Structure 1
């Protein structure tokens, strides 16, 4: 059986030309020629089947043969906001796996105990695109620039908002129990959106936790085990996806 080749083309129906990075891979690595069939996702909910019409040293042109609009596999908008770890490879691994599982948006937080205050979102974007293609996702998660914790939590957001932390003096409820307790029928009357915050290796400060609670966030735990930041982020995405699965 001939291998299906997937590419990412966000302006698929407008340009009829693969983006430069994708064209380079198609031409120099896969050595595709005119007449070959390719598939690509636009990151906005559709797969496209196309035929290559022209290949040059730098360009790969195509003609769309069929557009296949996809149905979402989870309800609502899953947004993970996380403080990146000092070792970026751990964050990149988490982003890749979270994309494969399925979520909608990621933001990076600069917190009081953060070990990293800058992040290359262009590199994260490339990792997300690669994971979208590998896992055949029709939607590409949004990648946001880093924000200070206070600025993030003060922004209005739809749906339920949660902050994960380890402080014993602040009461917490089980995250998965809270988000899975609403049935699909009941959710028709309220937003299915989820925003969940995960702190740095040293956790959020107690003041940050209280600030989040004052801004409508719910205090939660991801389980009895003490998790690394990237593990907690992946756990939060996995639970959210499972609870909102269609």
Structure 2
């Protein structure tokens, strides 16, 4: 069954979903669809009005999907090439993630991030992977402001200092916790930012023996934490 996203308590699909349902999928009156509000509620419904601008539906049954017994938050500096960060968002949502936060570090090459397109990508990935929860997406803020928003149990920063060998994330994280992982920009974290993170309770971790691009590191962290909780 086709899954659509409607965050508001109304009986019609959004304009984009209405067009997709009627024009692309050629669904008509009486056809069954599934609709999620992005907060865990999934409605089984039937189309009552096959309008490509305002496709109406009637809810037959509602089921609530329980939230996961753990949560993953990835905080990442947007890449210079925005396509890379968009790729990360799409894949992370498909794999499973509760929150994505963006920040601008001292070495960030990108200083502007438009969240509207990121949200559309996340919504499409949620629907494609048949999930009922849309991750929280945070506007980009400074690194210092980001740290003030962190209240997660297990805090990690992916960084390889010159004078020590951090433990691999997969070995130090424990199951069924609330995780937050900091992933730096192409120019890495500054020394001041490392000190701020450590003072805020973050542990330095490695994601493997290879040097990873920003978006690859962010997705790897997301995957490792999901595998830990399988």
TM-score where L is the length of structure 1: 0.88
Q: Does 1:64 align with 2:49?
A: no
Residue segments in structure 1 that go unaligned for 5+ positions in a row: 185-191
Instruction: Name 1:239's counterpart in structure 2.
Output: 224
Q: CA deviation at 1:170?
A: 5.3
Paired residue for 1:10, among 7, 10, 19? 7
Provide the C-alpha distance between the structure 2 equivalents of 1:133 and 1:215, rounded to a whole number of angstroms.
36
Q: CA deviation at 1:169?
A: 2.9
Q: CA deviation at 1:92?
A: 0.8
Instruction: Name 2:138's counterpart in structure 1.
Output: 144
Q: Does 1:88 align with 2:82?
A: yes
Aligned residue pair count: 230
Structural mapping, 1:180-219, within 5 Å: 180=174, 182=175, 192-219=177-204
- Contact 1:171–1:219 (CA under 8 A) maintained in structure 2: no
Provide the C-alpha distance between the structure 1 equivalents of 2:51 and 2:107, rounded to a whole number of angstroms.
51
Q: CA deviation at 1:149?
A: 0.5
Q: CA deviation at 1:84?
A: 1.1
Instruction: Name 1:103's counterpart in structure 2.
Output: 97
Residue segments in structure 2 that go unaligned for 5+ positions in a row: none
Instruction: Name 1:222's counterpart in structure 2.
Output: 207
Paired residue for 1:42, among 34, 37, 46? 37
Q: CA deviation at 1:61?
A: 0.8
Write out per-residue CA displacement over residues 46-103 of structure 1, whole angstroms, 9 at most, x where no aligned residue.
221101112335211111111122234x422211000111111111111111111000
TM-score where L is the length of structure 2: 0.94
Provide the C-alpha distance between the structure 1 equivalents of 2:149 and 2:96, rounded to a whole number of angstroms.
24
Please report the RMSD computed on the Cα atoms of aligned residues, expressed in angstroms: 1.5
Write out per-residue CA displacement over residues 195-225 of structure 1, whole angstroms, 9 at most, x where no aligned residue.
1000011211121111100111111111111
Instruction: Name 1:188's counterpart in structure 2.
Output: none
